Structure 1
Amino acid sequence: MSSSLCVLCRGTKYLCGKAYCPILAKTRVLYKVAKVSDELFGSSPPSIFVGRIGYPTVFAGPMAPMETGETSIYDFPELWVSKPIDDIVSMRLGLFLGRKTVSVKNVDDRFVQDLQQLVLVLRPVDIEMKFAKKPTGFSFSEYEPPMGPRAPIEKLKIVSMPSTARVVERVYSDVDVSATDAVIELYRGGVPVSQIQKIFSVGALGNAKRRRLVPTRWAITAVDDIISKHLINERIRFFKHLSEIQVFVRMYAKNLFISILVPGEWSFEWMEAWFPNSTWNPGGVEVAIEGDYEFFKPREDYASIGGCYYASRLATAEYLNKISRQAIAIVLREIYPGFDIPIGVWFVREQLRAMYSQQPYRVSSLEEALKIVDKYSALGSKTWVKKSRLLTFLLKNKKLDLYFNFR
């Protein structure tokens, strides 16, 4: 990267082509690390982390910034949809993690119970952390949002404890219900998905004898999967078919999202095209395209494309549930050079939710829908059709209703 570009830009114009300013992000986290010692008093958003390395013995612990008061936004992805990537990265790297080795089965451990109490209240909780040494480092993941400095924790003290939401208290106290049913009840009760994921992760749901800590990245995907399956199996499959083809488009932070909803029995496909010099194609010379799909019912095996599949399926299922219709959904994502930092599957879920809140293009044929794809896509509809199982299936089946005029 040319130093002259940085001098001209100063973190305001993104002249380097990146979706964020790495210099600003690094400077902000170094400033915060310089201020912290081996003790921290702050308001946890609330936020916790459960690792996966070494499972069933893992690292787990609370996270908090060096500030008190209303800190919810630090760990509330539903509020991040329009925030600059710079701000999200800087904010997340300001969360300090105090971690301790625990067994996933030992949910009666005092430390684990403190973690449970943190996330059950759904509001910021004042905590004190005593570290074994000064926190250092930071991390990025394709599943979880970025995380800031961490250190072994010697002592955790909950200073203030807001009251627990009634629906959360009821589900937490029900030791006979399954974890799956508990997740659905929380969702129906209006608890945000990101909060349900944390409650699920700390082993606070389900039958008493089967409660376990769940690594954060597994919990995120599990909750997206559970809720979307419920919406599809219990709601969407009984709705009438969509009466038209709808095409949604959203562009944000060097990402393009397109959803094509076609009248028919529920089916779903999620595909990603990573351009050279993007996060998962840093040294490539060609666009890397991957995806996965399901015909007629939610898949039982794990999607090869990973957690974004379930995040995108949830956002799509929520929209169809909202309009009381079922459809064949083909959801596409193009990631352009400069978006080269992993920030978590929340990005897909929240960007698609925002996209589905907009008015769609309404057309009467798949050919018209593909013309809209060509209008926005750098890859082009022909390439997408070659790679997409559902688009290929639809184009080969000329007898489908979508080839008649709906008007």
Structure 2
Amino acid sequence: MQALKKYFTIFITSIFIFLFIILISNVYSAKNSGTFYLKDIEGDRSILEDISITGELTDDLHRKLFSIKENEINTRTELYNTPIGRYDNYKFIPGGPLVLGEKEYEVYGENDFDIIYHNIREREKVGLAFVRTEFNQTQNRFSNALEFGLTSIEDKIYFTVPTTADYSGFNGIYELHFVEGGHSFMPTHEKEEASVLTTYPLDQNNMSVLGLESVGEKLALIIKIENDLVIRGFTMNGLELGEAHFDDFFISISQDDSTSYPYDIFVNEDDEIVTLSFQKEYYPIQHQIANIDFSDGPKAINIVNPKIDDGIRDFHNHIEHMLFKNNKLYIILTTREHNNDQSFHYGLPISFFIYVYEPTKLLYKGEIVTDINDDLLMYRNVTSITNRGQLNKNRTLANINIK
């Protein structure tokens, strides 16, 4: 009887071991399964030979890394040892902080300005910089969120004020100096005032300053004069490098209040080519895009006006990258299905597209097809407000790069 029990125990244990092995095998075979391929919709895929696209589809527990090189898509899956809670998928949203390096920056003020940072990983680490200006205004409003005036080159932070045509006098480009542990309630005499790299007059031709950007070790001042787009280049020491000019650029751009002109900027670091994108329409998605060569002072290249009718822009989880290379504009972006009922917005399918344009025509359109929308089945069947807030547990696209 004892021998029978012994053999029975061995038999049951063997079955459990066998089932466990099958389970583990299924898990590891499943980790590299799933939908992930490039679908050609229009044009010849060979046009992608000049670029590479990398990124990942990730959630708290794993990520699928992908790359598109020489027209082919390759994937690899990694499992996390412990769950993660942050994805490198940051995109500046006007009204929120601007991330530069490991810090978040916010700007406050009307005539003089406090710039405050928080360290992303160590929130208790803060700093304050102070800018004293030399302009006058008839209305306290700005052309863009104040953070559009911030940029960085290596460990240096620069600032200009996004002024409207209501301002007169002089604006400037400032190098900021931060007091660690500083806060906006400090007496002014304890704040460290910014250095003035250069000043420029505001009393000309209905002029609005839209922002300040960095291109390698150069600064780019983005300006609207009447309906023209002007990009002025400066060295890190404030020496002017010239300007690029696009006539009548803003005539076709409709804005809600006619004074705010937010934009996205993309820089081809290898060739020092800047792509400035202004959104003209929400649906269908329409852009007014200017390409500028910064390799030898700013020079205007061309304007591209893509129209994308494959969905709407998702402002909170939107992925969009652009690269101007070999006289072609490459655009990769995500869209959500258009639906008039916006209360159901986050339950709508996501698509991931690649577009290639010459200045006047579409050369290629493709879709990176994934099973990311399988996660939306859970969202659509969840009614708890608490659970709906846990969207970061669904997979998201992150670390997207094109070069």
**TM-score under structure 1 length normalisation:** 0.27
Q: Which has the higher strand share?
A: 2
Q: Which has the higher helix share?
A: 1
